[in-house]
């Protein structure tokens, strides 16, 4: 369906190609004249030794070399991605691919490049991204490839293949086709594709209400070629303009990125289901949701009717002041619209206060691509028909108010013939020296890549700025990081604008206080390593970038075990500890070491919730309890408290028996908590213990547990722990330690009785 818009009959013609390129001496020329230092008289034809080759997009590398992408058809129905790179004089660059040319097969019937972009900064600087579609079984998918500077596929991309194919098919709806028609590279190296897809269609019922035809389709990829699931939840977003016309529908032909990271997609749509098409402009937030601050009624969408049947937006660009210019066609004329940053038409001066401009070249005209000069003049390239019904390149330049620039070509317009055949200009780019490059296809008897370069307005001398992102930083988690690019400068004293993308990060996602100031801040929730890039722009085409690395280190939890305790011996000891940790994304575990060799208490911990535990000591003496909290990065904090046991009042009496051998009796009492009197004996066949010297006695408030200690007649120390479970001779407990050694296991009685009194 959309092929019918772009692949007009000239694609099937065979025209003469010119393969040799000879540079001619430069001559004095005016803006709009062909640049005779480029190719032959300002023009270059490049065949691919194939059935036909169509150039569809052009981009300028930082070193001035020119990259053109398109498709090379090997037969009338099979084709591959095709790229050519040219030196600044128009000769093919032999260091690129094979003799300056590269073709890439996607394993499909046809794979076409519709858009190319080049990394200007960062670790991938100079690499080429090509986007388009790949066709198999009659259905198209988004196709994306990344190339190294020598034209080889970048095997760090697309899982080692350098290529990515993305289907927009939904479960149960396999009849889905998709085309990527434009690509843009974000400042954080992520890649955005825009085009069209069928959101849902029942091909057995053309008029079914569920059918909504073609829709805007966007996909975003990370720098490795993986779909970015922070965009739309799946990495893909589909948007219906609102209406359906079979054979028509909506399509995004151009995508550009604002300095704040928002994504602008331009194309056309059928907003009233009338069968007519209007310019369509949509703006998305960085997460893929429509920007409700853009367009009427908070929809994020704008449509513009030029008062004719068919209005197609094919290309968009953002001016230095943030205004958006869209170029295309309005029923066989060049068409331009300029929008304010909120999506309203710019009715100040543009287009005589209408915000819209149309230009007739005398034939059937289509504006295919738009670019902005450094002086904000607008250049639109496309094609127009000839009196014989063929096509020629068409180029127009507009003043900032939308009027044609009379100093350019003939009244602001230029037409270029490549030698008799259908010559179609698809894409325009402006070099740093102001010269204008238009790429498409043309020739005399064969359709090949066609490139023309025109003289343009050379921008004022401008030295690039210096970007300084500041020194690398190492901070603790929980800290607020202050970025500082204030040392950036411009030798021409131009005011600088700033853009701070987060290039990479191993920790949780960070959000800057602002992405467009010199000194933004961000909070750190957990440890990680982040790379941020500042790009400074001087407003005159000068741009520079620098990166800073911020390492966020883990901070161990800070633990408070609680206050020291002084308790009567035998009393149950309760611990309630707390902790803090600036790493709010951490998870934690705790341990309580009781200090008497008993098992360590462990569990999960949460900031703000107490860590609790209880323990019964059976051996007198002061104890140190240690509470530790460990985070998921193995950072550990510990704190201790001391429990001091003091004697109490009470009376413990009893006679005990253990099987056939163990027997004992005791009567121990303290009335004032200081003086303890009593006697104890214990025999089990291997020991014969007797004590008349008691040092401490303690009983629990519920009179269920108690302990006493003293010195045996032979001078050794002992401790006894007892439990009165209320049933004489059954389940009572008597445990005895001598010099810290337990003599009688779990101490459960087989006979006798323990009694505890207050």
The C-alpha angle 203, 204, 205, rounded to 5 degrees, equals: 90
Residue 392: closest CA among 403, 381, 404? 381
Average pLDDT value for residue range 617-646: 90
d(CA 261, CA 190) in angstroms, rounded, equals 11
565-568 and 636-646 beta bridge pairing: parallel
Residue 214: closest CA among 284, 287, 140, 286? 140
The C-alpha angle 423, 424, 427, rounded to 5 degrees, equals: 140
Q: What is the pLDDT of residues 48-104, one digit of tens each?
A: 977 899 999 999 998 899 999 999 998 888 899 999 999 999 999 999 999 999 999
d(CA 351, CA 348) in angstroms, rounded, equals 9
DSSP class of residue 349 equals S
Residue 301, beta-bridge partner list: 282
- pLDDT value at residue 460: 78
Q: Which contacts (CB < 8 Å, 24+ apart) does range 741-748 have?
A: 743/682, 743/684, 743/687, 744/658, 744/662, 744/684, 747/721
Phi, psi of 4 (to 5 degrees): -65, -25
Residue 216, beta-bridge partner list: 196, 239
Sign of CA dihedral 686, 692, 695, 697: positive
**pLDDT greater than 70 at residue 729:** no
**pLDDT greater than 60 at residue 499:** yes
Token digits for 576?
A: 């309630």
Contact by Cβ (8 Å): 749, 733: yes
Contact by Cβ (8 Å): 74, 81: no
Q: How many CB atoms lie within 10 A of CB 542?
A: 21
d(CA 148, CA 126) in angstroms, rounded, equals 8
- Per-residue 3-state assignment (H helix, E strand, C coil) for 153-203: ECCCCCCCCCEEEECCCECCECCCCEEEEEEEECCCCCEEEEEEEECCCCC
- pLDDT value at residue 120: 85
Chain centre to alpha carbon of residue 201: 31
Q: For residue 537, name the pLDDT band (cuts at 50, 70, 90).
A: confident
Element (H, E) at 3: helix 3-6
Residue 576, beta-bridge partner list: 612
Highest mean pLDDT out of 169-173, 273-277, 516-520: 516-520
- pLDDT value at residue 29: 75
Token digits for 755?
A: 């009694």
Q: What is the pLDDT of residues 125-177, one digit of tens each?
A: 899 999 999 986 667 899 999 999 999 999 999 999 999 999 987 665 555 78
Scored b (16 or more CB within 10 A) or e, 492-512 reads eebebbbbbbbbbeebeebeb
Residue 480 burial by CB count (10 A; 0-12/13-18/19+): exposed, middle or buried? Answer: exposed
- pLDDT value at residue 28: 57
d(CA 196, CA 177) in angstroms, rounded, equals 8
With a CB cutoff of 8 Å and minimum separation 6, the contacts of 744 are 658, 662, 684, 734, 735, 736
Q: For residue 249, name the pLDDT band (cuts at 50, 70, 90).
A: confident
Q: Report the first-to-last Cα separation within the chain, whole angstroms.
A: 97
Q: What is the pLDDT of residues 679-726, one digit of tens each?
A: 999 999 889 999 999 988 888 888 888 888 899 999 999 989 899 987
Residue 565: HSE in the Cβ half-sphere, 13 Å Cα cutoff: 19
Q: For residue 536, name the pLDDT band (cuts at 50, 70, 90).
A: very high
- pLDDT value at residue 14: 28
3-class DSSP assignment, residue 146 = strand
Residue 134: closest CA among 153, 108, 170? 108
Count each helix (H run) and each strand (E run) in the chain, helices first.
Answer: 1, 53
Q: For residue 282, name the pLDDT band (cuts at 50, 70, 90).
A: very high
Token digits for 746?
A: 């779990």
3-class DSSP assignment, residue 10 = helix
Contact by Cβ (8 Å): 43, 451: yes
Residue 59: closest CA among 146, 118, 135? 118
Token digits for 390?
A: 């063929």
Q: What is the pLDDT of residues 732-742, one digit of tens each?
A: 999 998 987 88
Q: For residue 570, name the pLDDT band (cuts at 50, 70, 90).
A: low
**pLDDT greater than 90 at residue 115:** yes
Contact by Cβ (8 Å): 43, 37: no
DSSP class of residue 11 equals G
**pLDDT greater than 90 at residue 622:** no
DSSP class of residue 273 equals S
Q: Which residue has the higher pLDDT, 414 or 503?
A: 414
Q: For residue 26, name the pLDDT band (cuts at 50, 70, 90).
A: very low
DSSP string, 461-486: P-PPPB------EEEETTPEEE---T
DSSP class of residue 6 equals H
Predicted TM-score of the model (pTM) = 0.71
d(CA 128, CA 118) in angstroms, rounded, equals 5
**Rg (the chain; Cα; Å):** 41
**pLDDT greater than 70 at residue 289:** yes
Residue 101, beta-bridge partner list: 84, 98
Q: What is the pLDDT of residues 175-221, one digit of tens each?
A: 578 999 999 999 889 999 999 987 555 544 444 444 456 889 999 99
- pLDDT value at residue 245: 45
3-class DSSP assignment, residue 296 = helix
d(CA 627, CA 562) in angstroms, rounded, equals 9
Residue 360: closest CA among 332, 379, 400? 332
- pLDDT value at residue 364: 93
DSSP string, 13-75: ----------PPPP----TTSB-TTSTBTTEEEE--SSSEEEEEEEEE-TTS-EEEEEEEEEE
Contact by Cβ (8 Å): 96, 153: no
- pLDDT value at residue 107: 84
Highest mean pLDDT out of 28-37, 192-201, 406-415: 406-415
Q: Which residue has the tokens 């890039």?
A: 533
What does pLDDT average to over the chain? 88
Q: What is the strand order of the sheet 558-560 is part of?
A: 558-560, 573-580, 611-615
């Amino acid at each position: 369906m959309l092929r019918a818009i772009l692949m007009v009959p000239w694609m099937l013609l065979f025209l003469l190609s010119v393969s040799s390129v000879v540079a001619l001496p430069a001559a004095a020329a005016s803006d709009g004249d062909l640049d005779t230092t480029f190719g032959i008289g300002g023009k270059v034809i490049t065949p691919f030794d194939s059935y036909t080759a169509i150039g569809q997009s052009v981009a300028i590398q930082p070193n001035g070399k020119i990259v053109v992408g398109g498709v090379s058809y090997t037969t009338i129905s099979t084709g591959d991605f095709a790229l050519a790179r040219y030196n600044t004089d128009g000769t093919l660059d032999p260091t690129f691919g094979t003799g300056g040319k590269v073709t890439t097969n996607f394993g499909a019937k046809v794979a076409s490049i519709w858009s190319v972009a080049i990394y200007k900064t960062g670790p991938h600087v100079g690499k080429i991204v090509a986007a388009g579609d790949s066709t198999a079984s009659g259905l198209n998918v988004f196709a994306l490839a990344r190339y190294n500077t020598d034209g080889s596929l970048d095997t760090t991309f697309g899982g080692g293949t350098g290529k990515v194919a993305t289907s927009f098919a939904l479960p149960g709806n396999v009849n889905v086709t998709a085309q990527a028609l434009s690509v843009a590279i974000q400042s954080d190296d992520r890649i955005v594709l825009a085009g069209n897809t069928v959101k849902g269609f029942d091909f057995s019922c053309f008029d079914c209400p569920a059918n909504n035809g073609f829709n805007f389709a966007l996909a975003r990829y990370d720098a490795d070629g993986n779909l970015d699931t922070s965009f739309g939840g799946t990495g893909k977003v589909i948007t219906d303009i609102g209406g359906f016309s079979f054979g028509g529908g909506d399509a995004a032909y151009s995508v550009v990125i604002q300095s704040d990271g928002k994504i602008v997609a331009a194309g056309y749509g059928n907003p009233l289901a009338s069968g007519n098409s209007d310019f369509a402009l949509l703006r998305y937030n960085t997460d893929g949701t429509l920007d409700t601050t853009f367009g009427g009624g908070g929809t994020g969408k704008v449509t513009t009717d030029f008062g004719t049947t068919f209005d197609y937006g094919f290309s968009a660009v953002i001016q230095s002041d943030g205004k958006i210019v869209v170029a295309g066609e309005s029923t066989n004329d060049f068409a331009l619209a300029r929008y304010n940053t909120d999506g309203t038409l710019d009715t100040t001066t543009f287009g005589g206060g209408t915000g819209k401009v149309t230009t007739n070249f005398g034939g059937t005209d289509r504006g295919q691509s738009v670019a902005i000069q450094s002086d904000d003049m607008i250049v639109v390239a496309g094609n127009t028909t000839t009196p014989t019904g063929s096509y020629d390149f068409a180029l127009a330049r507009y003043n900032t108010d939308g009027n044609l620039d009379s100093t350019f070509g003939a009244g602001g317009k230029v037409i270029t013939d490549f030698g008799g055949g259908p010559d179609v200009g698809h894409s325009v780019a402006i070099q740093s020296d102001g010269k204008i490059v238009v790429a498409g296809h043309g020739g005399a008897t064969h359709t090949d890549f066609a490139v023309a370069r025109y003289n343009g307005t050379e921008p004022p001398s401008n030295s690039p700025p210096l970007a300084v992102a500041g020194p690398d930083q190492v901070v603790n988690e929980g800290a607020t990081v202050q970025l500082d690019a204030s040392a950036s400068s411009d030798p021409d004293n131009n005011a600088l604008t700033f853009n701070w993308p987060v290039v990479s990060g191993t920790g949780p996602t960070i959000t800057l206080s602002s992405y467009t100031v010199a000194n933004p801040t961000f909070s750190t929730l957990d440890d990680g390593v982040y790379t941020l890039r500042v790009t400074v722009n001087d407003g005159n085409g000068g741009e520079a970038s620098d990166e800073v690395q911020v390492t966020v280190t883990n901070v161990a939890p800070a633990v408070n075990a609680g206050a020291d305790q002084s308790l009567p011996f035998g009393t149950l000891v309760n611990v309630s500890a707390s902790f803090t940790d600036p790493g709010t994304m951490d998870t934690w575990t705790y341990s309580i070491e009781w200090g008497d060799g008993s098992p360590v208490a462990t569990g999960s911990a949460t900031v703000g919730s107490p860590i609790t535990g209880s323990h019964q000591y059976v051996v007198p003496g002061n104890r140190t309890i240690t509470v530790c909290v460990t985070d998921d990065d193995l950072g550990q904090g510990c704190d201790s408290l001391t429990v001091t046991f003091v004697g109490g009042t009470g009376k413990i009496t009893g006679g005990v028996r253990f099987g056939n051998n163990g027997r004992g009796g005791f009567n121990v009492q303290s009335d004032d908590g200081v003086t303890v009197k009593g006697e104890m004996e214990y025999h089990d066949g291997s020991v014969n213990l007797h004590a008349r010297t008691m040092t401490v006695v303690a009983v629990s408030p519920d009179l269920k547990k108690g302990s006493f200690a003293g010195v045996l007649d032979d001078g050794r120390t002992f401790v006894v722990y007892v439990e009165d479970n209320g049933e004489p001779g059954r389940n009572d407990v008597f445990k005895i330690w001598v010099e810290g050694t337990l003599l009688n296991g779990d101490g459960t009685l087989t006979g006798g009785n323990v009694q505890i009194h207050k």
